[in-house]
Amino acid sequence: MAQPNESLTAHAVPQTLGVLGGGQLGRMFVHAAQRMGFFTAVLDPDPQSPAGRVSHHHICTEYTDPAGLARLAGLAMAVTTEFENVPAAALTELARHRPVAPGAAAVAIAQDRAAEKAYFAQCGVPCAPYAVVDTEAQLAAVADGLLPGILKTSRLGYDGKGQVRVRDRAELERAWHGLGGVPCVLEKLLPLQAECSVIVARGRDGTCVHLPIQRNLHRDGILAVTEVYEGNLPSALAARAVAAAQSIAQGLDYVGVLCVEFFVLDAQQAQGVGDLVVNEIAPRPHNSGHYSIDACDLSQFELQVRTLAGQPLVQPRLHSPAVMLNLLGDLWHGAHGGVQGIANEGAPAGAPAGAQATVQEPPWAQVLALPGSHLHLYGKTEAKPGRKMGHLTLTGASPEQARERANAAARLLGLPAL
């Protein structure tokens, strides 16, 4: 005979959502899923991965390990990914057993710049003039009008890596050989006025919603600042960017959260290209959308959970103007007046146990004393220069107030002013 609470207990066991990848995007997805009552399972080969350390289940195997994938499929009702370079074979294998969002086909397009640009043309969304450079013959056939330009590896480039600016044919040839002669795309250098991104969430029923358009600033190829408030970009341009992002998602029959990055151009100098071109897509939540945790009534990670779990999608609302500052490992090595050196995994290789690391903790107490300051650190144990360690979102009652607070935080951290 069943015990009085046996049936209730059986039905109260939460469902589990799975994610491939254990970085900060996976960590924030896990937090959102847990807040909404789900268990989570992370597959990542790093035993210290930020997401794996906070998840109910951490499957510590390689992404293509059959046993690891089988365990993830056995635990999770549905699976997503936190990075676009996950092996397509892993997604394909999981999709044989469980819903996977986004699907392997959409991720494959994001993994290859040439395929990505061809897809943009299919959607009727303009991108920068470009040429595919896979061979010596294609290198020699590059049109003069594409120089100066930016040579980008077709695969596995991120955060400015695998990209070289070239002014003429001699630099182009040296750059291509310097990148190992791998398949590349050469993009014409355009008169850039600003960068922006649109994050959309699309459900299996075709419902599509979007976050407010984000105006972005990159330094050394890495996102440094995101500003979100009404009027951060002209309304007509913002509407066209949102429509283009939705068209891209629709054409892929995409399910999940998708970020589409754009360049805003000086139309008079862009020689007929127009004032808005798409740069690339990211089939996942995006660094530029992190502000939504603190400034919107629905974050990009809750949207990711909803698309994966088949829950209703409603249009997110920005309730506070926001400025987000990306926090790189350089801050722990910079002259920002931080507190005493700390001993951690950031100590030099080969240093004796307990040796003082050459890092300083940034002045978080002073930063958090600023009204509207929201600090997010990702649980990474080593602060390497250029490594994304966290982000700081400053909110305010007005764009001016948010920017004022962001500039105050930047001064404390030794970052450039906005």
Q: Among 6-15, 30-39, 130-139, 183-192, which is the least confidently predicted range? A: 6-15
Q: Which residue would you say has higher pLDDT here, 343 or 409?
A: 409
pLDDT at 356 over 70: no
Of the chain, the end-to-end C-alpha distance in Å amounts to 68
* Average of per-residue pLDDT values in the chain: 90
Please state which CATH class domain 109-125+190-309 belongs to.
alpha beta
Res. 369 pLDDT band, cuts 50 70 90: very high
What pLDDT score was predicted for residue 3? 44
The angle subtended at Cα 7 by Cα 6 and Cα 8, nearest 5°, is 95
Please state whether beta strands 57-59 and 39-43 pair in parallel, antiparallel, or not at all (unpaired). Answer: parallel
Q: Among 63-77, 124-138, 266-280, which is the least confidently predicted range? A: 266-280
State which fold the 130-188 domain adopts: Dna Ligase; domain 1 (3.30.1490)
Which residues lie closer than 8 Å to 395 by C-beta, 6 or more apart? 294, 295, 320, 321, 322, 372, 374, 402, 405
pLDDT at 354 over 50: no
What pLDDT score was predicted for residue 161? 74
Same fold, 109-125+190-309 and 322-338+357-413: yes
What pLDDT score was predicted for residue 346? 40
Which residues lie closer than 8 Å to 334 by C-beta, 6 or more apart? 413, 414
pLDDT at 350 over 60: no
pLDDT at 416 over 80: yes
Domain 322-338+357-413: give its CATH superfamily: ATP-grasp fold, B domain (3.30.470.20)
Residue boundaries of the structural domains of the chain: 15-100, 109-125+190-309, 130-188, 322-338+357-413
Q: Tell me the two tokens of residue 413.
A: 């951290």
What pLDDT score was predicted for residue 266? 86
Contact 303, 201 (CB under 8 A): yes
Instruction: Just give the CATH number of 15-100.
Output: 3.40.50.20
Q: Among 225-239, 267-281, 403-417, which is the least confidently predicted range? A: 267-281
Coil vs helix vs strand at 180: coil
User: Measured between alpha carbons, how far is 196 from 238 in angstroms, rounded to an integer?
Assistant: 9
Which residues lie closer than 8 Å to 320 by C-beta, 6 or more apart? 294, 295, 372, 395, 396, 397, 402
Please state whether beta strands 192-202 and 208-210 pair in parallel, antiparallel, or not at all (unpaired). Answer: antiparallel
User: Measured between alpha carbons, how far is 327 from 216 in angstroms, rounded to an integer?
Assistant: 15
Rounded to two decimals, the pTM is: 0.90
Res. 4 pLDDT band, cuts 50 70 90: very low
- What number is the average pLDDT over the span 232-242? 97
Q: Tell me the two tokens of residue 30.
A: 């896990």
| Of 102, 222, 90, 215, nearest in space to 157 by CA | 222
Helix, strand, coil % (nearest 5) of the chain? 30, 25, 45
**Of 15-29, 80-94, 329-343, which one has max mean pLDDT?**
15-29
pLDDT over 70 percentage in the chain: 90
Q: Tell me the two tokens of residue 102.
A: 């986004």
The angle subtended at Cα 407 by Cα 403 and Cα 412, nearest 5°, is 150
Which residues lie closer than 8 Å to 255 by C-beta, 6 or more apart? 101, 102, 103, 202, 203, 204, 307
pLDDT at 206 over 90: yes
pLDDT at 341 over 70: no
